[in-house]
Amino acid sequence: MPANELVLYQEEFQRLERSLRQLRQDASARAVFLFDKSGQQIAAAGEIDQFDATSLASLTAGNVAATDGLAKLIGEREFSTLHHEGQRDHMHISIVGKRAILLVIFDERSSLGLVRLRVKRSSVEMEKIFEEMLVKGTRTTDGQAPASPFAEITDEDIDALFSE
């Protein structure tokens, strides 16, 4: 089985959020979202209440997956960025590291050039955080695997979820 688990701790979460807030500000964007490639939200910043983040996550991941498929069909490894232009709002989608997707939503207060530039810069930083996260997911600073809170779940806990 592939490594099928992503573990996000408070510390990395805060660092990612900080990067996103910075990016949002530097790019004059409405909102920025970081998703996992399988369609789950990792962190976000900006006018996030204006959007249905869960739906955005799954559709963006679907979009990226489909575009990856298209790239492979013509012998490209991937298309590293996607851009959707609307009448008022626009989207810029890019890949961070190997497993995350960065979505920037912006309007006329910004421009594609500015967004592109700022995304490039913060991606480097976020990639670094991700790398550290993956290492931490498998062991803590003393070299031990971190204790999972689920190691102790009982059948009763699980049954209780389905009780109503």
Partner 1 sequence: MTFINYASREINCKIVYYGPGLGGKTTNLQYIYSKTAPETKGKMISLATETDRTLFFDFLPLDLGSIRGFTTRFHLYTVPGQVFYDASRKLILKGVDGVVFVADSQDERMDANIESIRNLDENLREHGFDLRAIPYALQFNKRDLPSALPVDVMYRALNFKREPTFEAVASEGVGVFDTLKAVAKQILVELRKQ
| Residue ranges binding partner 1 (CB under 8 A) | 1-2, 4-10, 13-14, 36-40, 42, 52, 54-55, 58-59, 62, 65-66, 68-69, 148-153, 157-158, 160-162
Q: Using CA atoms in the order 110, 20, 102, 12, what is the torsion angle rounded to 10 degrees? A: 170
Nearer to partner 1, 21 or 116 (CB): 21
Residue with tokens 């600073």: 141
Nearer to partner 1, 5 or 49 (CB): 5
| Identity of the amino acid at 21 | R
Minimum Å gap between C-beta 129 and partner 1 is 13
Minimum Å gap between C-beta 28 and partner 1 is 26
Nearer to partner 1, 10 or 113 (CB): 10
Tokens matching residue 158: 């699980």
Nearer to partner 1, 36 or 89 (CB): 36
Tokens matching residue 32: 């920025």
| Identity of the amino acid at 123 | S
* 3 state SS of 36: strand
The DSSP secondary-structure symbol of 147 reads P
Minimum Å gap between C-beta 31 and partner 1 is 17
Minimum Å gap between C-beta 7 and partner 1 is 5
Cβ 97 vs Cβ 130: under 8 Å: yes
Nearer to partner 1, 5 or 108 (CB): 5
| Identity of the amino acid at 122 | S
Minimum Å gap between C-beta 9 and partner 1 is 5
Cβ 101 vs Cβ 64: under 8 Å: yes
